[in-house]
Amino acid sequence: MTQPTWDAVDAYFSDTLVGHDPVLEAASAAADAAGLPHIAVAPNQGKLLHLLALTVGARRILEVGTLGGYSAIWLARALPADGTLITLEIDPKHAEVARGNLARAGLDKVAEVRLGSALDSLAVIGAEGGEPFDLVFIDADKVNNPAYFAWALKLTRPGSLIVVDNVVRGGAVADAASADSAVVATRRLHDVIAAEPRVTATSVQTVGSKGYDGFTLARVQN
């Protein structure tokens, strides 16, 4: 579902506050040329992720679901020179496009694309026992969101922020009787978060050039 006014307003916001960005435009063009689906975050949403990463002072960022690296570029640009972004992708073609885009963006020193099922990669990251992540962006297969959220909690610290994309499911998230596995998982995610004393969270609906959707934002508590 999209509406011309949503596109027009997104174009207006992106033109005024995001601006012309050759690196990001090249990343989108490379994703298009490789036939990747048009499911990256919109420019003004990418900038929101960037602002959230700046706001939490992120030095380590974890992304679940890379696609062509568009959101990864926005997130990694918020990192200091010695920061780290790890982004998880199951599709080798997506990972290859993302690596090229991150290299052209000059971010290949801070950003690492790990190929494989995110649940496997998360287990590896957990076993590596590195420093906690300051921000986690969950944006892969929606049925695994409760499991990704559980991993995000394990891999963060008090003050970290966990962001989950695509939680509205065209409005179906409000349907307790839905049989759609992504809706069932998104509702389960909300139940898990509501019962989790270690986070304080909200979800917001969004409209724009990517249609009608929304984010969940959860802060890990002190």
Query: How far is Cα 130 from Cα 152, in angstroms, rounded to an integer?
Result: 13
- Residues within the interface to ligand DHB (CB under 6 A): 39, 139, 165-166
Residue of 18, 24, 30, 41 that binds ligand SAH (CB under 6 A): 41
10 lies in the binding site for Mg ion (CB under 5 A): no
166 lies in the binding site for Mg ion (CB under 5 A): yes
Supply angle C-alpha 139, 126, 88, rounded to 5: 30
88 lies in the binding site for ligand SAH (CB under 6 A): yes
Residue of 11, 26, 34, 39 that binds ligand SAH (CB under 6 A): 39
215 lies in the binding site for ligand SAH (CB under 6 A): no
Query: How far is Cα 136 from Cα 84, in angstroms, rounded to an integer?
Result: 12
SS3 sequence of 111-160: EEEEECCHHHHHHHHHHHCCCCEEEEEECCCHHHHHHHHHHHHHCEEEEE
Residues with Cβ within 8 Å of residue 129, at least 6 apart in sequence: none
Residue 181 vs 221, nearer CB to ligand DHB? 181
Residue of 13, 48, 91, 217 that binds ligand SAH (CB under 6 A): 91
Contacts with ligand SAH by CB under 6 A lie at 39-41, 65-67, 70-71, 88-91, 94, 117-118, 139-141
